[in-house]
Chains A and B, each alone.
Chain A
């Protein structure tokens, strides 16, 4: 594998350059907040702004909630489709990719109109925002879960579990979930990032969130916007690292349980 390793490092290095240089560009700029001196003034301005904390952690809350609801909604569905309704699968897959197509502004416009009058008057509830985010993250979350399930022989596992006397709940919790943990994690990363950066839904539904906050900062400040972007990048990355750590089980990529 030694020849392979050289090439691997090369591609990684190129990737690192491409990804980090623009970040460095932003970062360098943000250090000029104090005239003539390189300083972290822009960063302290941002971090000391109470609105930063409020909006950032609000978005974190939305993101985690979206992940939970997404998992609860999509995993059983994907499992069921795989197991019992294979013919419905193309339709379901198509549906799950639809959010890609609907622009956020159209979605939120529709959501506001639909849910701002009785009997479904939930426009003020944070749940509307969370549900909207769940829809937006559906392509990624569902796809990730589905990929994970695909690598696992679902019918065999289910039969085995059932023959051991397991009920549905047990199957879900103790058979399905552990095997698709990596996939769920991957979907969760994407969902987390999406929600953290999302602007349109939060703006129109008038909920505190990080996306609108960043847009506001960018409107009237010089150095703080790039500081904000760098901070959010770093914090989101860190949050994902934590998620990965928490969700990690036995190391190794083998996804098939048992038979190998």
Chain B
């Protein structure tokens, strides 16, 4: 099994968002944001609550209306049909809807929807893709279990598996690990990284934990009040002055013994 998109070279930018603006009523959520993500690259969106991370992901996935230009693998998203869009881009929401009575396999096969005709049901080939994914994600015994019985970590991997079942070359992840403990969080991000390499996926994710963002992403885009405040390699974005200003709290950035950047917040009254 492969991602199915390993062939054609295509343009370098899989995601090219140019001067994207979104407003909800009178409130501007994004103002002229430009972000591009190259094929196979992992870019993390960071920034405080309300900075526009989720809004940008939703605009790129065409879940909300936006102005400006968004191209996915060279296609203007406004010109794509819904199915074609879903074959290009798979989305993992921060709070996925998990119908409690649905079984793991039924949930996973939803990911095959963009590949099926409107009246068709899944073929054996579709089912095989899903079962292989269950194995790959160590979810083999989840096929017949109801979602209501799954732990947070299992459900989170299942949602990721559903996105992979779409076999889209671009993955949008909105806080994919927010429900997980420290260990599961690293496991999940390692898994995403493995799959990205394995299937040459392009990943754009919103992520709260700055240290993890710096460890896993190739590049960070710092959003602040709906604009891009910084864009670059982790070492260029994870700077204490920049983060302190954006997040409105004192921040220290250290380089650990293992060579990673660690971001630690300061107490308000520490008097440093």
Are A and B subunits of one complex?
A: no
